[in-house]
Amino acid sequence: MKTLEIKLNNGKPVFAWLDDIDDGALEQIKVIAGLPFVEHIAQMPDTHMGMKNGAPIGSVIACNSVVVPSFVGVDISCGVACFRTNLTVADIKGKEEIIHHSITRSIPMGFSRNTDKRRTEIEQKYGDKLNYAYEKYLMDRGYPEIVNRKEFASQLATLGGG
């Protein structure tokens, strides 16, 4: 693997650790580099075009005084909801650890949430649907090396593992 040199008219540095880059990803890099708060961009070896109007997959984008969640991933904070309660800061002050523990215990997330026993139950009950979803949404899109079938199954009924 070599370092690909990407020249931009605006002079912002792009560091790329890959042999080649697709046109879609290159166009996304040019748009992002044109943003006034972007300092520099780094492209990892897995770089490829991301969602329309987004950042390429495999990007590391340094920004000045700005956080852009979609640069991290368009599904960042998926499953997160904000809502108003009648609780005040005084109500929860000093209870943050207990609250955090309750949330993480109650909300399934991550690859390890489903045990081997649970994965077997999922396979037996939803095997055909799992096969369909895996083929349709991962294999057909060219992602088999990114998410294998066991990882895919282990995230069912969870917030996922990223």
CB 123 within 8 A of CB 133: no
**Whole-Å CA distances, 34 to 9, 28, 43:** 9, 10, 16
Q: What is the pLDDT of residues 48-93, one digit of tens each?
A: 888 877 888 888 899 998 888 778 766 555 655 667 889 899 999 9
Residues in the chain with pLDDT < 70?
1-5, 7, 11, 73-82, 108-114, 137-148, 151, 154-162
**Whole-Å CA distances, 152 to 64, 122, 125:** 36, 11, 15
Q: Is the pTM of this model over 0.75?
A: no
Residues with Cβ < 8 Å from 59, sequence gap 6 or more? 29, 32, 41, 42, 43, 44, 47, 50, 71
CB 28 within 8 A of CB 37: no
